[in-house]
Structure 1
Amino acid sequence: MLVLVTRLWARVRGRVSWWTPALVFGGVFFASWPLMALAEPSGSEIVRPETYWWYFVVTASTVGYGDVSPSSAAGRVVGVLVIVGGIAALTTVFARLATLLEQARGRRMQGAVTVDVSDHFVVLGYTPGRTEPMVDELLADHARKVVLCAWDDVPAHPMPDRDVLFVRGDLTDDDVLRRAGVQRAHSILIDARDDNEALAVAVTADHVASNAHMVVALRDITRAQRMRYVDEKLQCVQWHSPRMITEELKDPGISEVYTELMSHGGADTYSVRLPESLGAVPVEHCQTVLGRTYGATMLAARAGDALLVNPDWKSDIPATSVIYYVGSRRLTPAELAKTLRTTS
């Protein structure tokens, strides 16, 4: 019996339209008014046109202010019919709303919607266990929305618990990328299943996007030059460096800074240990000496097991600490100690 009722309700709910509650309300109104006129005594206030519509609304909606009510037993029976009809009409309204909400949620979960956002991040491609941490990094700043656009083999939204919009389809199709808002995006990540696919997606994304910063994750970084045939401003990042990928998306150009620092020549990263004889050295003094004397910048200091990245200028660096800095050449401990002592 329960199964039959469930099936009947599902069938009725699927056929409910916005006209249904209107027809129910109208039918009950025009049927109950003459019945109320027959049931109530002659001259009763409740059957007057200026009164009955008010009585009908408050009774059918089950608000029931009680300012107007039938005085006869037959009139109360008609009132019960009004209440039942009102409940039936309201039920159809709620059923219709529930159906619409369910359909909308289903479309969102299936990636069939067109997103209405701009200046957002678009991630083209989904890899289980890899994409989630990158999306979390993008969401951590709370600065921009994130849209995940995946291939058709992803059947439903893979991250429904996160504040991520989802679009699904062929990533080499202009219409699919437009549904993901690629043309209005701040940054676009192409994280494909292989480098050949990445090239195909990059061609389409470059065609659709206007001024978005485009980042391509490559397994073979030597293909970066070929990728730039698509767009010379396109930025390629090693696929195995997801943290650098997300930083490049948020701050365009930062991967080039990292690459330059890790390359030989120009400004390189070095380390030097402070002699014990110096004692504690103020960070401000150390930064000033490095900058003015050697054109270098201190990045971090290691005191024992503690690594202090970008240490506070008002703090001190203990003796024997290791300083990490960016400069044009390597400094010896004696050279740095002498400069720190003689420079005030």
Structure 2
Amino acid sequence: MQYIFKRLVAVVQSHIDQVSWQAVALTTLLHMLLIWGLLVSAGELELTPLTTYFYYYVVTTSTVGYGDFSASTEAGRWIVALLQIPFGLALFGVLLGKTGQTVTYLIRRAMTGDKNFSHINNHIIIFGWHDTRTKKIIDYILADKKRLDRRILLAVTEQMDHPFLANPQVDFAHLNSFTALEELKRVAIDRADKVIIDGQDDDQTFTTALRISRLVNEQCHISAHFDDETKIEMLLEHCNNVECSSAKSAEVLVRSMQDPGSSRVQEELLSTLYGDTQFSLVIPAGFTEMEFGNLFHHFKHDHDAILLGVAHNLSAQNMDLNPPLDYLVNSGDILHYIAVERILSDEVDWPGLVK
């Protein structure tokens, strides 16, 4: 008996799986119209007004049956008993089955990274997965409470489930390749605002950066991490919109030896989880020939921040670090500073700083 029951459930489930949402919706609508027409012909005037009928149909068909509305004529009761409840209950069961199937399907797609994100805009894409480092990257991004509220999309090539499913701010995409155009379209690479590339190895990081550097929009900033600094030189020969970083363990060791505490300073400057952190701010259009000294005093006096230097593009290839006080900065330049939290552009008195 148990085998027969399981077999019956499997057969019913397979039929539900094969029925489309359109077919279920159309069949339900036709059933509702048929019952309504029959009740009208049976003289059930209290049940047939549209608002009342919809409420009555749902309550009766789902067998909740509050009893506030029911058929009062003999013909109406036969219609309800023979046509509405049996067929309606079957449709209701199919509807619940399809709903459960769809919810399960959507959750599974989210877990396995099969969802399509080609519709999103101004998001952050992280290419690559590392058990510890990727989690830290996302923690550091989310710890910046005054950042623009951009969604984070983690893209991986490994076979894995969504590692941040409980975090609604992080989406997940599994790609077959970081260089396939169709796969990159699925994560809306052309509309991303920022990209981090941290591949399984330098070769994957290099090929990914080389591929997407021509696909992103002009305002998108790409950051790529390498272990081998020669790869950085090769990449920058072809891509000027990629900012590259590499492990500086030797430099950190020497600085810590010669100037004790240096590693702690660098750790605080890079982390948004505690202490003062390094940030950047683009000077808005319309403000030219501002002296670095005036900016320096304004940032320290009004925002308790320290200006470090001025860059002239997103990659900061020709940054002027600690320039003289009479150094002139203009709109479009990027100020790098240290502060407890990010300073937004509308919090700065730009007009009062122009010469």
Note whether the superposition's TM-score is higher than 0.5: yes
C-alpha RMSD of the superposition:
4.0
Structure 1 stretch displaced more, 102-111 or 115-124: 102-111
| AA partner of residue 71 (structure 1) | T
| AA partner of residue 166 (structure 1) | F
Alignment of structure 1 residues 86-125 onto 2, 5 Å? 86-115=88-117, 116-125=119-128
| AA partner of residue 225 (structure 1) | E
CA distance in 1, matches of 2:172, 2:189: 13
2:129 pairs with 1:126: yes
Alignment of structure 1 residues 125-204 onto 2, 5 Å? 125-141=128-144, 143-151=149-157, 153-162=158-167, 163-169=169-175, 170-204=177-211
**Given the alignment, which residue of 222, 234, 242 partners 1:234?**
242
Aligned to 1:10: 13
Aligned to 2:24: 20
2:79 pairs with 1:78: yes
| AA partner of residue 229 (structure 2) | I
Residues 194, 65 of structure 1: CA spacing in aligned structure 2 closer, same or farther, 3 A cutoff?
same
Give 3-state SS (helix, strand or coil) of 1:127's partner. Answer: coil
Residues 67, 146 of structure 1: CA spacing in aligned structure 2 closer, same or farther, 3 A cutoff?
closer
Give 3-state SS (helix, strand or coil) of 1:166's partner. Answer: strand
Give 3-state SS (helix, strand or coil) of 1:61's partner. Answer: helix
Contact 1:124 1:149 in 2 (8 A): yes
Residues 22, 183 of structure 1: CA spacing in aligned structure 2 closer, same or farther, 3 A cutoff?
closer
Task: After TM superposition, give the deviation of residue 154 of structure 1 in Å.
Answer: 2.4
Deviations 1:53-87 (A, max 9, x none): 88864443126674562233x64343233233333
- TM-score (normalised: structure 1): 0.60
Residues 240, 150 of structure 1: CA spacing in aligned structure 2 closer, same or farther, 3 A cutoff?
farther
Deviations 1:198-242 (A, max 9, x none): 111111111211221111111123432212123123211125799
Give 3-state SS (helix, strand or coil) of 1:208's partner. Answer: coil
Contact 2:36 2:48 in 1 (8 A): no
Aligned to 1:62: 59
CA distance in 2, matches of 1:213, 1:106: 32
Give 3-state SS (helix, strand or coil) of 2:162's partner. Answer: coil
Deviations 1:161-216 (A, max 9, x none): 22211122100112212221221122111101111221111111112112211111
Query: Sequence identity of aligned pairs in percent?
Result: 17
Task: After TM superposition, give the deviation of residue 90 of structure 1 in Å.
Answer: 2.7
Residues 25, 122 of structure 1: CA spacing in aligned structure 2 closer, same or farther, 3 A cutoff?
closer
- TM-score (normalised: structure 2): 0.58
Contact 2:210 2:235 in 1 (8 A): no
Give 3-state SS (helix, strand or coil) of 2:231's partner. Answer: helix
CA distance in 2, matches of 1:310, 1:52: 66
| AA partner of residue 159 (structure 1) | F
| AA partner of residue 85 (structure 1) | F
Aligned to 2:217: 210
Alignment of structure 1 residues 206-285 onto 2, 5 Å? 206-211=213-218, 212-239=220-247
Query: Which structure's CA Rg is the greater one?
Result: 1
Give 3-state SS (helix, strand or coil) of 1:217's partner. Answer: strand
Contact 1:121 1:145 in 2 (8 A): yes
Deviations 1:124-167 (A, max 9, x none): 1111222112112212235321011111x323322212221112
Contact 2:229 2:246 in 1 (8 A): yes
| AA partner of residue 237 (structure 1) | S
CA distance in 2, matches of 1:310, 1:95: 55
Task: After TM superposition, give the deviation of residue 123 of structure 1 in Å.
Answer: 0.5
CA distance in 1, matches of 2:48, 2:32: 16
CA distance in 2, matches of 1:187, 1:55: 53
Contact 1:22 1:89 in 2 (8 A): no
Structure 1 residue ranges without an equivalent (≥5): 38-43, 255-282, 288-294, 297-308, 312-344
CA distance in 2, matches of 1:120, 1:53: 45
Residues 240, 137 of structure 1: CA spacing in aligned structure 2 closer, same or farther, 3 A cutoff?
farther
CA distance in 2, matches of 1:87, 1:57: 15
